[in-house]
Amino acid sequence: MNLDFKESDGILLLFLKGDYLNFDSPQKLESLLSFIANSNIKSVKIETTNLTLWDSSLLSVLFQIAKAAEHKNIKFDFVSLPNDLKHMLQLALTVDRKPTLPKETKEDFFTEIGHLSLIVWNAFNRGCSFISDATKSFIRLISHKAIMRPVDFLFALDACGPKAIGIVSLISFMVGLILAFVGAIQLKDFGAQIYVASLVTIGMIRIMGAIMAGIIMAGRTGASYAATIGTMQVNEEIDALKTMGIPITDFLVLPRLCALVIAMPLLTMLADFVGMLGGAFVGVVMLDIAPEEYWKYAWNAFGLKNFLVGVFHGLVFGYIIALCGCYYGINCGRNADSVGVATTKAVVSSIVWMIVITGIITVICEGLGL
């Protein structure tokens, strides 16, 4: 286990003799490298006639000698090495350890617009195809041909229904309380605090109850759908279902869609009445309004038309949240980061589409006089 060498006519001969297993002689290696750096030799040759056993430690030593010779523009001849050792050393010397990054070519404005248009168009097609598949699954459910297990539906209904009552009630109560405070600030100037009851009632039952329940369920249930189905995509469980011939929309999307469409109108009604209780708390406790008077004005403001419009909002919001959560879950990538991205997109898309649909429904209701 030595690094014996000698110089002859400008050639450095390195003799490898015996076994080189777990070779560890930093002093000998340092001496050899120093000699190469300070001499005027023209080439380095290796004599391996008596070399028997070796491992990667010898490869490391030869690599350092080769780099030192390369630094001094000295020819390094390792042809005499055993084939395996020679191939590994050649590979180590030819790999680019600092690869150059490809130059980014900036495309012109119209090309970028074209690429963006294709991305939007493809996303639109995927979304329409997914909605179409979900609708076909619902039709198959009505005709009793859908492959949906009742236990999956009940599990999803329990997750987005009873388990969501607490958070929906708390947020709705606070929203009703805030609406009452904001309204009271303005109505006090006219001595009309009693109309806080009408303000809170109309605001909650027509739109605010549905919106607050929708936002909560988008962050709670929509994200859960995207994360659950996305994890199944990462674990290749969805591929397994496809291999067995099971329609994905029937087995994964339909139970969640039905559960949320049923739960959201009920949660919207809960949010409406709890929000009215929050307004009543402010009106009775803070504004010294008699409870009988408060509920009298609240009942007069409570219209069936407004109530049904709010429940319809909740129904549509449930459909949107379920579709967004399942869509981004099924179209998730194959790594953990993709699951996080899919969850984020599901929540953001749900909230954005809820606001867009609210505007559309409001315009339609205005046109119909509702």
Task: Show the tokens assigned to 94.
Answer: 């030819």
Task: Show the tokens assigned to 359.
Answer: 């505007």
Task: Note the pLDDT of residue 96.
Answer: 56
Task: Note the pLDDT of residue 18.
Answer: 76
Task: Note the pLDDT of residue 28.
Answer: 73
Sheet strands side by side (includes 4-8): 4-8, 11-15, 43-47, 75-77
Task: Show the tokens assigned to 319.
Answer: 């459909």
CA distance 236 to 156: 22
Is the overall model pTM greater than 0.75, yes or no? Answer: no
CA distance 171 to 300: 25
Return phi, psi of residue 11, to 5°. Answer: -115, 130
Task: Show the tokens assigned to 98.
Answer: 């600092």
DSSP 3-state percent helix, strand, coil across the chain (nearest 5): 75, 5, 20
Which residue's entry shows tokens 């030593």? 61
User: Could you say which DSSP state residue 52 is in?
Assistant: E
Helix or strand run (H / E) with residue 232: helix 223-234
Q: How confident is the prediction along the chain (370 residues), in pLDDT tens digits per residue?
A: 566 777 777 787 777 777 777 766 777 777 777 777 777 777 888 777 777 777 777 778 778 888 777 777 778 777 777 777 778 877 777 765 566 666 777 777 788 888 888 988 888 888 888 888 888 888 888 887 778 888 888 988 888 888 888 888 999 898 888 888 888 777 776 667 777 888 888 888 888 888 988 999 888 888 888 888 888 888 888 888 888 888 888 888 888 888 998 999 999 999 988 988 888 888 888 777 788 888 888 888 887 888 888 889 999 999 999 999 888 888 887 887 888 888 888 899 889 998 999 888 888 888 887 7
Task: Note the pLDDT of residue 287.
Answer: 76
Q: Is 84 helix (H, G, I), strand (E, B) or coil?
A: helix
The two beta strands, 75-77 and 43-47, are parallel
For 4-94, CATH number?
A: 3.30.750.24
Least Cα distance to 305 among 362, 370, 365, 369 occurs for 370
Q: Domain map of the chain by residue range?
A: 4-94, 130-368
